[in-house]
Amino acid sequence: MKSIVVTSGKGGVGKTTVTACLGRALAELGNRVVLMDADFGLNNLDVVLGLEGKVVYDIADVIENRCRVRQALVETRTRNLFLLPSSHGYLGDKVTSQNLRLVLNGLAVTFDYALVDCPAGIEAGFTRAVGACDGALVVTTPHISALRDANKVIALLLSYGKRPTLIVNRVRGDLLATAKIPSKDEIERILKIEVDGMIPETDGVYGFGNIPSKPFDLLARRIHLGAGEPLDLAADYRGLFGAIRRKFGKGGK
């Protein structure tokens, strides 16, 4: 099983939604995928997945031996995609990299991928999740403050020997086409790392099931198969018809 921590330099960049959507896309490629919510302070992966009413046991119950890991798993509407919920109580220093790793080891016999949603920033929650996982994925937006924070996270991950996958989320195609936000190439120069996925802004789209799947399908193929390029979000906003779209709409497909 490949375990990947999903992190970000700052909150509010869509890290948890990216975790859910990428998990779904990997599962639709035929993989068995578990999403572990390791954000013990602001956990809401169950809410994003629409499963908050189905949680019986959580990761704290597993760590403290009140249930087996399989009993805590919640099946999603997507075949082969499961959630291991976070605890809503205070765990203090009971959660360590070592016991997170033990939980992941228990899942390894059943799953191909584990995506571990961890707290934003570089505090204790980040450190313990990174220490438990094999790989890392950093989510940012194309804004200078978010890119600056992402740069710090990337540098720290590289110092741990983990070269992360980089996802740029909430990208508006019209602003990308008119160079009002940094392009993929510019972001790569700023962060000195390759961009693996470009995810469009989805204003007015509510609910995990309604988020466009194509950018995540491309990202999943890139992660699982090592092939393909990120979606060109500016394509629909170039040329004459693109100028008309920029005038009457925003965002990307």
pLDDT in tens, 202-224: 865 656 667 878 999 999 999 99
Domains in the chain, please, with CATH? 2-248 (3.40.50.300)
Q: What is the per-residue pLDDT for 252?
A: 47
Torsion from C-alpha of 132, 63, 52, 10, nearest 10 degrees: -30
- State pTM to two decimals: 0.90
Q: Which parts of the chain fold into alpha helices (H)?
A: 15-28, 45-48, 59-63, 69-72, 97-107, 124-132, 144-159, 173-177, 184-191, 214-225, 239-248
- Band of residue 246 on the pLDDT scale cut at 50, 70, 90: low
Looking at residue 85, the DSSP 8-state letter turns out to be: P
**253 pLDDT exceeds 50?**
no
HSE of 22 in the Cβ direction (CA atoms, 13 Å)? 34
Q: Which residues pair with 167 in a beta bridge?
A: 139, 197
**146 pLDDT exceeds 70?**
yes
Q: What is the per-residue pLDDT for 220?
A: 96
Alpha carbon distance 17, 250 (integer Å):
21
Alpha carbon distance 77, 24 (integer Å):
9
**Which residue did the predictor score with more confidence, 143 or 204?**
143
Q: What is the per-residue pLDDT for 117?
A: 95
Q: Mutual orientation of helices 15-28 and 214-225 as an angle, nearest 10°?
A: 70
Q: Mutual orientation of helices 144-159 and 184-191 as an angle, nearest 10°?
A: 50
- Band of residue 239 on the pLDDT scale cut at 50, 70, 90: low
pLDDT > 90: percent of the chain:
69
Looking at residue 13, the DSSP 8-state letter turns out to be: S
Q: Tokens 């040329």 correspond to what residue?
A: 239
Alpha carbon distance 168, 187 (integer Å):
9
pLDDT tens profile 85-120: 987 665 656 788 999 999 999 999 999 999 999 989
**241 pLDDT exceeds 80?**
no
Which CA distances in Å does 122 have to 7, 69, 131, 144? 9, 27, 12, 18
Length of the chain: 253
Q: What is the per-residue pLDDT for 242?
A: 53
Q: What is the per-residue pLDDT for 93?
A: 66
